[in-house]
Structure 1
Amino acid sequence: MIRTTCLIYFFCISFSLFAEEPANDKQKEGRETKPASQEIRDRRIQIQNDSIIEPPLQPLPPIPSKEFSLKKDNGAKYFTFYPGVQANLSDLKIVSSTGGRAVMVDDQRMDQNLSFLYDLKSHEWQVGENWGLFILNRNVNFRQSKQKITDITETNMASEGESGSSNRSSPIKQYKNQDLGTETFGSYHMLLPAIYYGQKGNDKFRIGLGLGYSKVNIQGTADFNDGNGYFNNIMIFSGGRNLDEKIDNMGRYSLLNNGNIDGDPYRAYLLSNLSYGNNLEALGAYTLIKGDVNPKTINPLLALYYAQATGNNLNPLELYALLTLGIGRVNSSTNYAKSFYFFWEIPIGAINWRLGLGGPFYAQNGYKISFTTVEMSFYMPIEF
């Protein structure tokens, strides 16, 4: 019995030893089947792959721009100052309640129209991708030394009828700028909420329109008779029956047609009663003290005519008063002139180029006053 049991154990142990080889023996056998040189090469590659770690790429530092500019990347946070130069061509049109009309123009020479630019612009509020808003303060100084008058010429025109051809004369109106000795000067300051078309950023173009109000100040002289002021005054003066009537006619005509835009009550009183007492002399002294009249408008031939027509009975102040009535006086100011301004702005590096059209217009004491200004400017925006 003992022998039989031992024999069974022996067969069971032998069967388990030869039934399955250990896994370690298989792996060892697999490794032993590779050549030694191949195994060493594989281990070197594995060591290199495990030990070499490439560092992440770092972004390169930004290269500073060589262009000098005071613009901010995202535009001004508070406001922008526009120092630069501008060339303006302005027409000032004044129409009286009686139909008298004066159109003052700039000297067309470029060197006479250059002036400094000092506009201000608020922060831009971008509304959508292509639209925005800002507030513009535009400042203009002007001086107009010429006047646009009507020149009527006659030309011969041939017309054919039933009886054949015939020539007839037809008038043609032309306008020319002439130096009449008149001059207007002053300034206006516009405050305009503006809407523009353009994308966000100070390197984008702008096309826009502003509507608002202006503070206007105008001084000087103008001919409200289309260049015929002296001739009309001679006709009115000669129409009186005596000296007092001649002087009164001059005063009333000047009051109605030649300019009392600011509604000066003392001047209006003197003109309406010019022959009474010393009113003519007082008007001469008042005009001389205020300096309203440009000495260039004093016509020496007209002075000679008045002296002869009055028998040399006028003193220098009275004669000066009559001479100043031949040309209208312009003295006007307001803080609430309606204004518009259309502009096109293109950035060119550190500077901007702008083309604009606009101006103020208003009514005062029966007179209609309007500016039309074409402007071209170059400026360097300084953003704050």
Structure 2
Amino acid sequence: MSVSKVEILREMEYAVTHIRERVLDEKARGHKVIGCLPILIPEELVHASGAFPVGIWGAERLPIVRAAEYYPPYACSVVQSITELAIAGAYDGLDGVLISCLCDTLKCVTQSFPLTCPSVKPIFVKHPQNHRLEGAVTYFIRELEGVRAQLETLTGRQITEEALCQSIEIYNENRKEMIAFARLLAEKPGLLTCRERHTVIKARYFMRKEEHTRLMRELNGMLRASTAPSFEGIKVYVSGVMLEPSHILDVMDELGYTIVGDELAHESRQFNHLVPEALSQLERLARQVQTYEGEAFLYDPRKTRGERVARAAKEAGADAVLFALMKFCDTDEYDLPWVRCAAQEADLPFLHLELEQTMQSAEPLRTRLQAFAEQLTHTC
């Protein structure tokens, strides 16, 4: 029996707001639960082990108290909030976590997490930085073999080629539905609010991919059948790490913004790259990293991210580019000038907002978003 759009959005909202309940439900079913920190974590290996992968990207509006003992004040709020939650015991129910080392602050987490959450097994994922080289594939296959072996020990289940192949296909199907979802919202701006779009994407972190894909197929079918609304607001393409705290999305909705595309690490960069074919399943996962172009967390000597953002914004029909800069994120701060220049060269108005997960109020950002909206309206 089909469900309504409201019911689908309500189910996804529940997944996003009841993470603990989702984890406890999986544990009650006898499944191991593995946390996945940012970014580019090979979740397929977790899925193939029979465990439930759950996203760990910090928390909104969480006061940072004890995490300050482990980091300097200029560490990004995502990592600080993850550590604060670890100290508070929020992750004690997990069986393990996968931690990447793709920025200097995440490297610090590899040292702090075993201290702040000693009951949870950490597994480190060490990506190749110069990912375009053929040697990078050989290196990453070896690293993934180590990750697989540790997951097998943790879950007590062998990760076979057949199981991993099946998991990759399940994840690729989900990626295809998400890519279609993003395109539909670009073709029919205003069908969903900024908050609703964010919820649909974020729910991927806290649902079985099979379940999420089923809901996405139904939702995409409804969106395809829907008439494009007469949208007269501002269509933006969003770049950055993440667009949270989510009350910023409520402000954008109030001011008449809609998101027609993004390359946020927290959102579209999680599903825009399908896992390609290769000789083995681990090689497939290793070669997926090679498909990334202009990725902020990987070696990009030509700084092509700006060109990629401008091109994608144009293709999505955006009126402007919004750069959501996570405060103290060196990776994005380095890329900000390149993205700004590329947007301006493409005649796309550009606004960057400095965000922190710990922000208690979005009112200072409201002023900037409102002024930007008025500027664009006046220009048009």
Indicate the structure with greater helix content. 2
- The two structures have a TM-score, normalised by structure 1, of 0.20
TM-score under structure 2 length normalisation: 0.20
